Amino acid sequence: MTLATLNTFLTQEEALALIEFAIAQSQADGVFISLNACETALSRFSENQISQNVRKNTFSITVTSYFGHRSASASTTELDQNAIALTLRRAEDLARIAPEDPEWVELLPQQIYSNRTPAFDETTATLSPLKKGEIIQQVCALSQDAGVNGSGTLSTQVSLNAIGNSAGLRGCDRTTEADFSFTARVLDGSSWNRCTAWSIDQLPIVELTKKVIQKAIASCNPQAIEPGDYTVIFEPSAFASLLPWVIWNLDARAADEGRSFMSLRDVEGKPIGNKIGEQLFNPLVQIQRDTAHPLLQGGRFFSNGLSNEKIDIVQDGIPKTLSYSRYWAKEQDKKPTGSMSPMVMAGSDQTVADLIASTEKGIFVNRAWYVRYVNPRTLEVTGMTRDGTFLIENGKISSPIKNLRFNQCLPEMLQNVVAVSQVKRCGGSVIPGCKVENFHFSSITDSI
């Protein structure tokens, strides 16, 4: 048997050479080039056996051409220079007839990015289908031996992002990521968890699988409890489905225009600014944007070229900054920030078990599911618990309970954080487990 070799991935030198070629070929007043290359390998398994194995390579170059305050973009998925030149001409033709942009900003000049190198793991980048199959086979064997139905995914990704413009901006990063998700079902019980890292070797796959299996078995025969306000212990992965909604809504323009929970209003309800500097959350809440965090080690810049430098978002429960686009920063005489991701919330040396032990009566939430807006201006959301919800009594998990729907104002949730655990990488964020008082459950749901 002969194993197929992996496709050769675009190097940083090749990517920057394509950027230089495109800029040199431009006939516009200004041009911005974005290049993205990605190789994703995904394996799925269900009913304790592998069901799918796919590998996908994607490549695109996007050209944005500028003539005065007019601009237009065009893209190609071809690498050859002729295709790139044709894409430039197409973007230029469209830009000449485009309407003027009332929120136009000049091209971003050359930026100074951090001199660190984002995490790139060769083992992850070259992980073979055979090796992935062996990992999944081990997971499925653990599920079968425990008498549960196991399903999930194991994926790896290699990404390269390069940018450049005619004002001297240049940047190129490459990264790797590995992701494992596992669901165990048995009778009317279920559990789930996920782990993500920049290296496949950092994923605690066997440990996570065993814990999920144990929790699934323990969640069988759940009992109904009355909805209401409860003290809740959130797993990091559950809290990671709620916290981003707060961070996504820290947009300066939305706040200044009265469309956000961060909006400051006068007695007549008219917007008069934002709430930066106010004590909105519990002092335990500490959040930063920190792509250089050891668990992340991600890219150094955003797709528009702004530096993804470290920023204090919330300090001692006080919001310290909002997300400023280049246009709104210019209007408000502020420094543009880019988005507030990746978010890193500080934790402690306590475990989730320690948070449970400190709780006389409450609910343990393993997963928050299908979170959606109820009121964007107050940031009230709704969603459901899923895959293992338990009653806590006298510092111990006492029994499984049926899933509950929640309706919760998220700024109030952060006011009511009273303890945090050790942090964990959840997707592209770093989040601790959290103990929250007076979290509102509105009804029982039949979700499983």
Domain locations along the chain: 12-207, 222-448
Pairing of strands 417-426, 318-319: unpaired
What's the CA angle centered on 121, arms 427 and 196, to 5 degrees? 15
CA distance 301 to 330: 20
| pLDDT tens for each residue of the chain, 448 residues long | 333 334 457 899 999 999 999 999 999 999 999 999 999 999 999 999 999 999 999 999 999 999 999 999 999 999 899 999 999 999 999 999 999 999 999 999 999 999 999 999 999 999 999 999 999 999 999 999 999 999 999 999 999 999 999 999 999 999 999 999 999 999 999 999 999 999 999 999 999 999 999 999 999 999 999 999 999 999 999 999 999 999 999 999 999 999 999 999 988 888 898 999 999 999 999 999 999 999 999 999 999 999 999 999 999 999 999 999 999 999 999 999 999 999 999 999 999 999 999 999 999 999 999 999 999 999 999 999 999 999 999 999 999 999 999 999 999 999 999 999 999 999 999 999 999 999 999 999 987 6
CA distance 300 to 320: 22
Contact between residue 153 and residue 181 where contact means Cβ atoms under 8 Å apart: yes
Q: Which CATH number fits domain 12-207: 3.30.2290.10, 3.90.1010.10, 2.40.50.140, 3.40.50.620?
A: 3.30.2290.10
> Nearest Cα to 374, choosing from 278, 261, 274, 264?
261
Contact between residue 433 and residue 236 where contact means Cβ atoms under 8 Å apart: yes
* Beta bridge pairs of residue 420: 434
* Beta bridge pairs of residue 186: 189
Q: The pTM is what?
A: 0.94
The SS3 of residue 347 is coil
Mention every residue, 6+ apart, whose C-beta is less than 8 A from residue 123.
199, 200, 201
pLDDT at residue 125, rounded to an integer: 96
The SS3 of residue 61 is strand
The SS3 of residue 253 is helix
Residue 85 Cα to chain centre, angstroms: 35
Residue type for 392, please? I
Residue type for 169, please? L
> Nearest Cα to 242, choosing from 406, 420, 424, 425?
406
Count Cβ atoms below 10 Å from residue 225 Cβ, excluding itself.
16
CA distance 191 to 210: 11
* Gyration radius of the chain's alpha carbons: 24
pLDDT at residue 173, rounded to an integer: 98
Contact between residue 75 and residue 62 where contact means Cβ atoms under 8 Å apart: yes
Cα–Cα separations (whole angstroms), residue 38 to 55, 129, 156, 250, 329: 11, 17, 11, 30, 32
Mention every residue, 6+ apart, whose C-beta is less than 8 A from residue 313.
247, 250, 287, 288, 289, 319, 320, 321, 340, 343
Local structure of residue 202 (DSSP, 8 states): G
The two structure tokens encoding residue 34: 């974005």
Peptide bond into 342 cis (omega under 30): yes
The SS3 of residue 314 is strand
Contact between residue 35 and residue 15 where contact means Cβ atoms under 8 Å apart: yes
pLDDT at residue 4, rounded to an integer: 38
